[in-house]
Structure 1
């Protein structure tokens, strides 16, 4: 490779690292204002709601809330009453402040060590809190009663409408809300546009990728929408900024089949009734001030989302009953698929879903036989290599054929050194003459690329691998850190180093004659991958390392065979009837 090529490669590497720095500095957690770090005993203090424009006839006393504006204190709420609904998977704490869900503990999932995993842990507003019907009020007091395995909240709105909210657990991860409005007045009452809090997408670790914190919705037409945490940051490149940071993002106005907030491995999904679906999702980003202070920098941010519903018209003496289902749990494909309404699309596999779903199916079913997911990944990798073994052997044979033609190739390169187009034409003629395919060795790599990308995509939300240990790896969804250098704070992750080392050995085995500078560069190209995969989930370098080791063994076996003697391919005679005049 000439000087220009090395210069271009250097610019690319510098650009990649500069882009990583840009993403970290521009899409990292925003700095929390110091004034907001003080704890306020009033549950409504600091609680922020976005504004929505009420359509139709508004009830008396309805005020508009400005975007991101802190709500003023209303009348003091009575003492809080709480109730608990519990099954084998969930422990749901409900509060009379909002008549909604204060927190959801996933009993069989862990956050750190033995600490239970709690959804909506850092939010001051309860899930399914309803707002928009009272003047600048974030939380309202409800009467609370428990009827067997159900909890009932009730209150009277300012316009006289009776609102009852009945909660119960449907199944392992499902919460059901039966909501009823009753208009006892002899006149028609219109309830203006209102909101339900879907929840807050919160990271578990500070290092969780910000792009995994997002809100999704599925429109009635089957279109999947997404708003992620990085969308709130500014947008630009090389100092040119074309979008300032945003405090609020709302979706296009369209009827929605479900709405959700999610983190890397967990989700809260609201499935509304088909007769009264939301038509907008409103999202804000806010610092999680109560997030544990371990680590460096400011607390991470979460994404809070409200589902916005249209007006409700209640004729005199009428009532309206609706049912909402909330799924709160891990993003396991089988669980989401069983919910229906295409909720499994929250996994957001995109184009690679056709390869990711079979991979998940294979991994889960292998785990029913093999108790450890690390062993499952190894067996899975060996199975893939067994399928592609003949193809890889054929590619290695092509490599030996290219080695046999190497002297002739060097002669042509020397003969047509000043005529690159002529040299390429003569090289192709030489390959055709001896029946050698110069790209035959690339086919196995090209075939395995979709599997690698699918595996990478699957790991973005593979909750099945959380807290699964293997050898020195404590969690297959986290880096395999064994120590941290005290001075510079650099984590020592052995598996990515082993992966790169085996990749370099394999590259040198595949092209032992490294006289060409481009060949030497390709042999050391895996070192550049280290910057991208060093802090990635340990499952991916484990898969790649096992794949490299098996490929090394196969390449060594194939290269032991002698260099084949090439013969010219016989030209095919033209067949057919000759026409005579």
Structure 2
């Protein structure tokens, strides 16, 4: 590929990869969404949500509320509303319980009737020898509005689908009675004449089985009503130094395809580009028509997702900001902390049918709160009717098949590459290196042909450039004549500038592989805690020290250095002007800007790729055979045709 083509191609790649970074740095800051419930909690120094309805008793049981049984025109379901305006309540005593296995520990709360905290025992919160005794990763929702698996009635008369509307269910959870046995946790609450009973039972690995039974305790039939099940909260990363931290969002599946709802949807920028100014921000997403097969909220490595036995009625995703960290929490979190984080709360609408007196309806759900491991998610999907649960890996629709293949190959290699662990080179690091080598060998014949053609062109350029330079100088004020004279010179030497476009083919072919690798490494939890020499964690930047608060990351610098050397070995195209040459010369500096805080695993891949390209360029020689020599055509003579 000639350098002009490379400028276009590299700039396109940088635009695609760097858009989220530019958005964080240059984009307008979203203002927090005011919320009286959160403000009230902040003033009392707790995160306890106010309780809707009359004040409950001190033992934490919910007080019955009077429902409204008139169906609405838009949903044919009645909202369940309190009989009187909310009044200030005393602090309600919280009852908690836990269920756990070797993988996960769930902490339940009576406030909101759901999961207050999830601890992933297999994954330490911090990586490195200095934090060897770090506690487990916590998926702690205390700073959110509602606990995981809270079950709340629809309080709005209709579901407002306006993108700036509020959520259609209470912002603060109701209080449940909680009882605990050795094998399950049971919660009960009353909403008017609706009785709700939830039973939580541990299942395999990171799964929790949940049964929700809604019954009619009155002497009258109750009309159809809507409830909402809280399925998880996607939270903006706390550490602002990680470029890859933008990989968080929500996703749901309708039986045919997945729909991703993330920062791009909420920012609503012109042309869908996060770098564009303006836009009409949104904070409320509503979709689904009785076809919700699963709904999840994910961070870079972990996710919370719910699979219903019967498809859910609709999806609700609401954007808000969490309560600020306390001073103690902020200090514990480290220096580069993004306080007042953005969060997206997901809920599944559940349509409870009309019930005669004394009858009930039971809904069953599987909750998964654990790592985004492809094989594990694939198995869960297969066990639930093949519902494509693995799409929560978010590999993307275009290059997802490449990312999946690369991940499978890396996982197949990993058990066989642990022989350098004593040198602090993990099997996952070696897998990245070996896969990069394999990819390079596969594309070697194509790239070698392109490299050979460029070297031949360099020979022609050496003879032609003096004339090109004179033409540029002589006709610098007449671009039309300059181009005409340059075309005459190209014809004289038998050069067709358009033929250089074919040199782009090797790089174009490798674009799916690059994006597949980028996507796979972005969310591969297997890299978390894997070492490579000085890099203690391939999923994070390889910072070895800080100077005045600025991190020193080695692999991005090595990547940039090898990129400079690689470009230096590439001959310049004859039609490249000085401005283009300057852009190409300093292009690696743009890469170090975008990738300086990227994961060391991605920088390792790119550095190895650059080194192999340098080796190939040095090894590739111009064919010495007479038939392959460059022919310089005298003026007036046409090139030979075959």
Q: TM-score range by the shorter chain?
A: 0.7 to 0.9
Measure, in 2, the Cα distance between the counterparts of 1:529 and 1:403: 26
Matched, 1:24 2:48: no
Q: CA deviation at 1:391?
A: 2.3
Question: What TM-score results when the alignment is normalised by the length of structure 2?
Answer: 0.74
Measure, in 2, the Cα distance between the counterparts of 1:63 and 1:412: 90
Q: CA deviation at 1:452?
A: 1.3
The residue number in structure 2 matching 1:218 is 253
Measure, in 2, the Cα distance between the counterparts of 1:468 and 1:19: 26
Structure-to-structure mapping, 1:93-108, within 5 angstroms: 93-108=107-122
Distance 1:181 1:240, change over 3 A: closer
Q: CA deviation at 1:91?
A: 0.5
1:283 aligned to 318, 337, 354, which one? 318
Measure, in 2, the Cα distance between the counterparts of 1:375 and 1:447: 24
**Counterpart of 1:182 in 2: which secondary structure?**
strand
The residue number in structure 1 matching 2:278 is 241
Structure-to-structure mapping, 1:41-440, within 5 angstroms: 41=46, 43-45=48-50, 55-56=75-76, 58=78, 61-62=81-82, 73-74=88-89, 77=92, 79-112=93-126, 113=131, 114-121=134-141, 122-123=143-144, 125-132=146-153, 138-159=172-193, 161-190=194-223, 192-207=225-240, 208=242, 211-220=246-255, 222-229=256-263, 231-233=265-267, 235=269, 241-243=278-280, 245-246=281-282, 248-255=283-290, 256-274=292-310, 277-290=312-325, 292-293=329-330, 294-296=334-336, 298-340=339-381, 341-348=387-394, 349-371=396-418, 372=426, 373-407=428-462, 409-410=464-465, 413=468, 418-421=481-484, 423-424=486-487, 427=490, 431=494, 438-439=500-501
Measure, in 1, the Cα distance between the counterparts of 2:522 and 2:18: 22
Tell me if the contact between 1:63 and 1:136 (Cα under 8 Å) persists in the aligned partners: no
RMSD: 3.9
**Counterpart of 1:483 in 2: which secondary structure?**
strand
Distance 1:315 1:495, change over 3 A: same
- Quick check: 303-312 or 512-521, which moved more? 512-521
User: What's the CA shift string for 1:395-417, capped at 9, x where partnerless?
Assistant: 22212321332355447747976
Distance 1:397 1:22, change over 3 A: closer
Q: Greater relative contact order (Cα 8 A, min sep 6): structure 1 or 2?
A: 2
User: What's the CA shift string for 1:36-84, capped at 9, x where partnerless?
Assistant: 644544722499xxxx98944637744799xxxxx8644764x332221
- Quick check: 31-40 or 388-397, which moved more? 31-40
Distance 1:190 1:542, change over 3 A: same
**Counterpart of 1:251 in 2: which secondary structure?**
strand
Measure, in 1, the Cα distance between the counterparts of 2:510 and 2:449: 15
User: What's the CA shift string for 1:390-445, capped at 9, x where partnerless?
Assistant: 22322222123213323554477479763525644763685479x99534543332
Measure, in 2, the Cα distance between the counterparts of 1:306 and 1:230: 19
Matched, 1:496 2:496: no
Tell me if the contact between 2:227 and 2:351 (Cα under 8 Å) persists in the aligned partners: yes
Distance 1:339 1:98, change over 3 A: same
The residue number in structure 2 matching 1:565 is 629
- Consecutive unaligned residues in structure 2, runs of 5 or more: 1-6, 53-70, 156-168, 382-386, 419-425, 473-480, 634-638
Q: CA deviation at 1:466?
A: 1.3
Distance 1:524 1:562, change over 3 A: farther
- Consecutive unaligned residues in structure 1, runs of 5 or more: 1-5, 66-70, 573-581
Tell me if the contact between 1:29 and 1:299 (Cα under 8 Å) persists in the aligned partners: no
User: What's the CA shift string for 1:241-283, capped at 9, x where partnerless?
Assistant: 342x54x312234331111111111111111222x51313131
**Counterpart of 2:212 in 1: which secondary structure?**
strand
- Quick check: 17-26 or 191-200, which moved more? 17-26
Q: CA deviation at 1:185?
A: 3.7
Tell me if the contact between 2:558 and 2:607 (Cα under 8 Å) persists in the aligned partners: yes
The residue number in structure 1 matching 2:540 is 478
Q: CA deviation at 1:459?
A: 2.4
Question: What TM-score results when the alignment is normalised by the length of structure 1?
Answer: 0.82
- Quick check: 26-35 or 438-447, which moved more? 26-35
